[in-house]
Structure 1
């Protein structure tokens, strides 16, 4: 990190310190080295985990920590013994490491990054929820102070665990996340939450199938205005099951033009999980992989395994009366009747119809009656997770409490041990630098928010006016509301210095040049506010401060 970039990073860290300490969080620093054994206890270290691991000269197994849930849980579990020490809130800002398979976009997705991670420990789910609300309030204030157009979206917890999380995202065309928002009720969520079910305020018709979730006939699941169907395919990780998803590729959605839909891998994965299928979304040629596995199974000499095919039908697609299996049988070199076939047009073990497609702009919101949905590409800047006892149970981080706290109806005065309720809350420091720079830049250069700009104000002294530039700099630096200011007195052409100041992205540029020589006035520029005015020295400090307060 070069000097100006480092100043931006340090200002972000100071901003985080300010808002973490606003609710009593204490700052700590843990080692980047962790034990593989500890991560194996939590169940997060697997063969395909994206972590750097190594053995030392004594063959002890270590890893470079991408997060510190395991380490913090073990630390707190060894220190905190009684509920009277709770709640506990600790955080750190440190370098993390991830064996990223596809590093890209500079600091947005790299193998080394800087992150703030906060860990909270409470005695009960109720108190943990109160802490979660406190943290979210602090996050809102932090991002409000940045004055960037962020969104707060309900999110998937992924391998972190827990069942409640929210992410703070910055909409940008280069973002890797897709966020859905409603125009009416304000509901915002990550498309990863797609669960494969149709969500609507209107009741769904009951299934006509005799066996739940399995097709016994060829009746349509409805009569939507579908023009043509699309087919998505995937395989299980063992390549023995081929999953096919039939979805409406083009359909009429209240207008005269057909709308193209795209399959949602998140929705299909959710259905597959519920059906007990371990789906592998990384396979690019699923049909060929499945067919090759079937041929290998048939030629292995072991007990023959029947080819398995599972069809999923979106609620807007008519179910085939006779499933198309002949081509698959030819691929797998087997008879059609040898294929073990299953079909779902309802979510497994429910009566909910299936939705296999991504949200399209203009779709109706399932949360309210009058809203329409819009999708946004976005970059994740922060994430809050309620983990519950996901880590504390596995790593035995327990506290001793009176039995009455656990069971208010208890008569005895004995004590018992319970696992602590845990939360973790992150902010990507290094990726915030890149994301904010990308979103707020324009053709002239960077455009930093005041609170994290390398300097709030730059004074540019034109050639032959270095002494006057120092006078203006001293006047601003010694004022009661002195900004974070730098003097650029390099001996370069005026147009070069102005261009360089725009590239760096100073919020306010003060030019000591011809106006000062002619009429004792200073030119003040602010690109974000579209300001370019000549101000007398007597008003300079007040005018600059008024601009900074708007940034």
Structure 2
């Protein structure tokens, strides 16, 4: 063991303890930190420790230390860093910018992304596929929606040879685009393989990266050029079946956002460039959101500002108007207006894509071929990560919902005494074994080269839902200090009382 190794290499020369490593000698005091690190590595072996994670946090951008000065320049040198979520994601070491509107996702961000994707997977319960990142230019020419994207500059055109290497001139060159959306690609896929009504209904979805050449990328992951998106496409034989599917998917979306644990609103929306006959947006409420949604507290009607209108008089007289073009209560109706961030969108497409791309099927009566009724449904996964932080933070840092927090529990040692190390290890094992919901959800902040205060500030910045501290107070009282990040309450509990904090244990 490491303890035995170091014990075998202690020497006492003229009253001074030296540590001998091969032919080198070091004062014990000089190598104390290195020795502690090795012992901690052994003590916390096979346990999740923060020292093993790449997490370049910026604890205090205003700090005058050399380390924080260098890290703070990450924020100060980037003039595009605007919005609380963008700053917090950089300070918490979740993202780093690669180029304008393009970011690398670091380990903590990736863990949260994976949790969001898992919730989506569980609620979709459909067939997952992967479609190409590159799509041919011919799809642009075949469909007006793609032309709109092209005119807005959201496409990135590439000339690629058979190896997908950019080329100037080659006899095998084809025009390709980095896909901003996949309606055409997946419709073409289905058109080639669906022939009969017996093969319908069909639901296909994917979670992957997309690219849109935004003219003004801003606010980090809220408005980037490259992003992660879940897109689902549905195919039905009749309008009635497609409408039923549309309602089912909307209900599944509501379950997804409810499980994530943030207030959201479902608003009637315009179909825009995507097209179709029906559309709804899913918003996370936030004062910095780019969208304005209007809602009636009496009947529950909600719409975005662009297409708000009144509804049937017998349902809500307050809302009864053919058209609402303003949210001014003096001139129109006492509608509640809220800023929000759009994180999901659903469209009932009809035959907008199946007609031009000839996605047809033979009906039951064996008559002439009919166009497939379609729907498309999207969730901005990486945007949702930023929206969660934007709507759930305070002056100390992020406040994660428990469902998508990178880790639900962080254990912070208050010292490096053997008794504390042993109790930290016991607490970690207790949480993992006794609480089923905490498997792979507990992390030890074993960075003993950093001060306790620094690690506490880091923990508040990173937003763990629960902090557990074992230090000298524990040695005196036998109780663990526990911080709840959501309400900032502090309590002291014994081991057997901790289990009651967590549901599903």
Q: TM-score, normalised by structure 2?
A: 0.71
What is the SS of the residue equivalent to 1:66?
coil
Structure 2 residue aligned with 1:325: none
What is the SS of the residue equivalent to 1:174?
coil
Structure 1 residue aligned with 2:403: 451
Query: Is 2:459 aligned against 1:498?
Result: no
Structure 1 residue aligned with 2:391: 439
Which of 389, 397, 406 is the equivalent residue of 2:359? Answer: 397
Which of 337, 347, 368 is the equivalent residue of 1:375? Answer: 337
What is the SS of the residue equivalent to 1:45?
helix
Which of 109, 121, 127 is the equivalent residue of 1:17? Answer: 121
What is the SS of the residue equivalent to 1:179?
strand
CA distance in structure 1 between the aligned counterparts of 2:198 and 2:322, rounded to whole angstroms = 49
Query: Is 2:481 aligned against 1:523?
Result: yes
What is the SS of the residue equivalent to 1:497?
helix
What is the SS of the residue equivalent to 1:142?
helix
Q: Is the 8 A contact 2:435 2:502 kept in 1?
A: no
Between Structure 1 and Structure 2, how many residues are aligned? 376
What displacement does 1:531 show?
A: 2.9
Q: Report matched runs for 1:42-61 at 5 Å.
A: 42-46=143-147, 48-49=151-152, 50-56=154-160, 57=167, 58-61=172-175
Structure 1 residue aligned with 2:268: 154
Q: Report matched runs for 1:79-118 at 5 Å.
A: 79-118=193-232
CA distance in structure 2 between the aligned counterparts of 1:415 and 1:3, rounded to whole angstroms = 55
Q: For the aligned residues, what is the CA RMSD?
A: 2.1
CA distance in structure 1 between the aligned counterparts of 2:340 and 2:429, rounded to whole angstroms = 42
Structure 2 residue aligned with 1:537: 495
What displacement does 1:530 show?
A: 3.9
CA distance in structure 2 between the aligned counterparts of 1:389 and 1:147, rounded to whole angstroms = 35
CA distance in structure 1 between the aligned counterparts of 2:490 and 2:117, rounded to whole angstroms = 32
Q: Is the 8 A contact 2:288 2:340 kept in 1?
A: yes
What displacement does 1:466 show?
A: 2.6
What displacement does 1:33 show?
A: 0.2
Q: Is the 8 A contact 1:469 1:489 kept in 2?
A: no
Q: How far does the alpha carbon of each residue in 1:370-421 deviate from its partner, in whole angstroms, 9 at most, with x for none?
A: xx20211110011111001010011000000133xxxxxxxxxx43210010
- Misfit runs of 4+, over 4 Å: 198-202, 352-355, 361-365
Q: How far does the alpha carbon of each residue in 1:163-199 deviate from its partner, in whole angstroms, 9 at most, with x for none?
A: 201111011121111111112111110111158xx98
Structure number with larger C-alpha Rg: 1
Structure 1 residue aligned with 2:432: 477
What displacement does 1:141 show?
A: 0.8
What is the SS of the residue equivalent to 2:282?
strand
Which of 241, 244, 262 is the equivalent residue of 1:127? Answer: 241
Q: Provide closer, same or farther for how the CA distance between residues 156 and 482 of structure 1 changes in structure 2, counting only shifts above 3 A.
A: closer
Q: Which has the higher contact order (CA 8 A, sep 6+)?
A: 1
Q: Is the 8 A contact 2:326 2:332 kept in 1?
A: no
Q: Is the 8 A contact 2:266 2:302 kept in 1?
A: yes
Query: Is 2:374 aligned against 1:422?
Result: yes
Structure 2 residue aligned with 1:185: 299
What displacement does 1:543 show?
A: 2.7
What displacement does 1:29 show?
A: 0.6
CA distance in structure 2 between the aligned counterparts of 1:128 and 1:199, rounded to whole angstroms = 24
Q: How far does the alpha carbon of each residue in 1:477-531 deviate from its partner, in whole angstroms, 9 at most, with x for none?
A: 1214251111112113222221111100111111112331111111111121343
What displacement does 1:363 show?
A: 5.8
Query: Is 2:28 aligned against 1:73?
Result: no
What displacement does 1:39 show?
A: 2.5
Unaligned runs of 5+ in 1: 203-351, 366-371, 404-413
Q: Is the 8 A contact 1:476 1:482 kept in 2?
A: no
CA distance in structure 1 between the aligned counterparts of 2:250 and 2:346, rounded to whole angstroms = 7
Q: Provide closer, same or farther for how the CA distance between residues 13 and 353 of structure 1 changes in structure 2, counting only shifts above 3 A.
A: closer
Which of 428, 433, 446 is the equivalent residue of 1:489? Answer: 446
Structure 1 residue aligned with 2:61: none
Q: Is the 8 A contact 2:134 2:177 kept in 1?
A: yes
Q: Is the 8 A contact 1:470 1:487 kept in 2?
A: no
Q: Is the 8 A contact 1:167 1:383 kept in 2?
A: yes
What is the SS of the residue equivalent to 2:218?
coil
Q: Provide closer, same or farther for how the CA distance between residues 185 and 364 of structure 1 changes in structure 2, counting only shifts above 3 A.
A: farther
Q: Report matched runs for 1:198-209 at 5 Å.
A: none
Structure 1 residue aligned with 2:421: 466
CA distance in structure 1 between the aligned counterparts of 2:202 and 2:124, rounded to whole angstroms = 13
Q: Provide closer, same or farther for how the CA distance between residues 9 and 91 of structure 1 changes in structure 2, counting only shifts above 3 A.
A: same
Q: Report matched runs for 1:26-37 at 5 Å.
A: 26-37=127-138
CA distance in structure 2 between the aligned counterparts of 1:26 and 1:480, rounded to whole angstroms = 32
What displacement does 1:364 show?
A: 4.7
What is the SS of the residue equivalent to 1:76?
helix
Q: Provide closer, same or farther for how the CA distance between residues 463 and 150 of structure 1 changes in structure 2, counting only shifts above 3 A.
A: same
